[in-house]
A and B are shown apart, each in its own frame.
Chain A
């Protein structure tokens, strides 16, 4: 099953090299099938426990993140189908350019789907590198000076993070070599089991290196600097993938290391995570407040939500871990939808300045409504999954770290102010006279509608597969 999940986007990527006919539909279909297989796999894991064969190790956590990536990839593929038809100021992307887009798109999703399936942290490191390498030219796809600048910063800073992550990985391995337990290697399950016997002094450095290194990809401040550039400059479906899937799956890697360290270091590890989490939310809040570019604003909101997830991990109780994992899922779904809506706005208005977009409700009614609902959801209003998961994280936080939880709550209010202020100026008002005539493809609307469902549903009912999986995943990390 896992092979199938990986093979399909790989095959789609291969096909994309050869032809540019039906690529959009094919990719959407392939990603939908991948999602279906991921659902089956996740169901099996939820039902029968972790799968472990070959290089694969899929426990509930992995299945959860696999599902998250698959969902976002699927909607992004659907959205892409509409996007490529009018990306160049209304003109479709064709020929070699189209092939290049889909080769990289499918490879990128392949790399992201790979990460939660692997059990060896060394391989995870490589897969994470693969996500960066396959997405660099997607970020620079627009082929402009700005896009190239963003791609450069993305690649350079990601590489520095990768090197630090590798450093941490090596030291972790060094730890196991000299640990009393007879295990040498980087299999996560073993490491997690043995975490108590690892040298805490070394583990401290390992944790710090991993937090900085993998946190770079996950968008934790102050290593987040590439994120607004890359997410802002990338084509909108790619922004959705980056914000929804890539940061999420990178955070998953952070979590794998972090929870080994928590077993070895206890509260010290939590304090370190607390530092990065709070700093992320703080910096994101400050930049959301003064942002003039709506795509960058959404990117900073990603930093903020990674910070919230970090705080959830730092709070450390089973409830907090549950809330944190749930939050990552909700954020992935909501943020990708926001980038779809933002993409439609960009297609129509051809500007990314907040102040030059007015009257969305009139000029793009569906996009306007979705943008409005999704911004309110990402800002934490119910009924949305984000509300539930934030409330969960806060509830846990008030018990363990009340100071941090209070600070988070205050910053959430600030972020709300910033996001809604920009949103209402875009959504309402009279539409400007110079908005080009331009229809939005039904593919785009389909992608938005699908993810809108996933934004709202978890805030109202207990979803069948998701919550058993979350329970099991929280149990894995809570060490019960």
Chain B
């Protein structure tokens, strides 16, 4: 009974994750994007905990905890700190595809994720059936956010969303990676996000813009 409820809960969480990711396609506010990412990670943490509860893989609680610590708190906090205030206040005006176009392509990517993931699920693997396609869709959408945004912060967020998607895939298919890999992965993301933040500061200093899509000195 509890198991069925948990599965239902996972379904809801998956839907929320997907919706939030789609919503992020249309958000222009920098600070809003960072906050949305924190919420995204929170949903992921809850999902991981629930999967851990459902499958009895208790080290998934650790994953959930690390996610909470790193991605809900540390990374959004440090991103906000690292990035200059003026950047944070910014709204991104020019999307590469525009909001309706972005949503259309996002929908197509969701379909693609669904149809490809569903074939990979082994028979009887309810969890994967439920969430594998969501993970894939989130990863694809994250990548698409990176394609569609010219500002540095949304690009970083896209990357982190993508990472969340891949973690979700890992959680539902493999019940997380070996512990050491898990730690390494989280540290990697943390350090990577920090480095990206530092680079954004440097971009602001040297190139006087954080619109990374406009950086075109190196070509050919």
Whether A and B touch (Cβ < 8 Å) is answered with: yes
A156 to B212, CA, bound (A): 11
Max count, chain A CB within 10 A of own CB: residue among B119, B128, B185? B185
A185 to B202, CA, bound (A): 41
CB < 8 Å: which of A156, A290, A296 contacts B146? Answer: A156
A123-131, A277-285, A313-321, A419-427: which lies at the interface? A123-131
Is the Cβ of A186 less than 8 Å from the Cβ of B218? no
CB distance from A358 to the nearest CB of B (A): 22
A333 to B215, CA, bound (A): 33
Count of residues in B whose CB is under 8 Å from the partner chain: 41
B169-210 to A contact mask, C-beta < 8 Å, 1/0 = 110011001101100110010011001100100110011000
CB distance from A297 to the nearest CB of B (A): 10
Q: Tell me whether A163 and B159 are in contact in the complex, defined as CB-CB below 8 angstroms, given that A120-B178, A136-B199, A233-B218 are known contacts.
A: yes
Is the Cβ of A166 less than 8 Å from the Cβ of B218? no
Tell yes or no: A133 within 8 A of B by CB.
yes
CB < 8 Å: which of B120, B162, B170, B188 contacts A202? Answer: B120
Interface size class for chain A?
35 or more
CB distance from B115 to the nearest CB of A (A): 12
Is the Cβ of A140 less than 8 Å from the Cβ of B174? no
Question: B159: which A residues are within 8 A, CB to CB?
Answer: 156, 159-160, 163
Q: Tell me whether A126 and B181 are in contact in the complex, defined as CB-CB below 8 angstroms, given that A133-B195, A148-B207, A156-B146 are known contacts.
A: yes
Question: A155: which B residues are within 8 A, CB to CB?
Answer: 192, 195-196, 199
Is the Cβ of B207 less than 8 Å from the Cβ of A123? no
Is the Cβ of A173 less than 8 Å from the Cβ of B173? yes
Question: A296: which B residues are within 8 A, CB to CB?
Answer: 220
A136 to B212, CA, bound (A): 16
Tell yes or no: A443 within 8 A of B by CB.
no
Q: Tell me whether A170 and B173 are in contact in the complex, defined as CB-CB below 8 angstroms, given that A160-B143, A201-B120 are known contacts.
A: yes
Q: Which residue of A lies closest to B173 (CB)?
A: A174
Interface of A is mostly: helix
CB distance from A178 to the nearest CB of B (A): 5
Is the Cβ of A290 less than 8 Å from the Cβ of B220? yes
Is the Cβ of A126 less than 8 Å from the Cβ of B188? yes
Q: Tell me whether A149 and B203 are in contact in the complex, defined as CB-CB below 8 angstroms, given that A133-B195, A159-B159, A205-B116 are known contacts.
A: yes
Tell yes or no: A291 within 8 A of B by CB.
yes
Q: Which residue of A lies closest to B210 (CB)?
A: A152
Tell yes or no: B139 within 8 A of A by CB.
yes
CB distance from A162 to the nearest CB of B (A): 8
A188-222 to B contact mask, C-beta < 8 Å, 1/0 = 00000000000101100100000000000000000
Q: Can you list 30 residue pairs at the A/B interface with Cβ under 8 Å? A: A120-B178, A122-B178, A136-B199, A148-B206, A148-B207, A149-B207, A150-B218, A151-B199, A151-B202, A152-B199, A152-B215, A153-B218, A155-B192, A155-B196, A156-B212, A160-B146, A160-B159, A163-B159, A163-B162, A166-B163, A167-B166, A169-B177, A170-B170, A170-B174, A173-B170, A173-B173, A178-B122, A186-B177, A186-B181, A201-B120
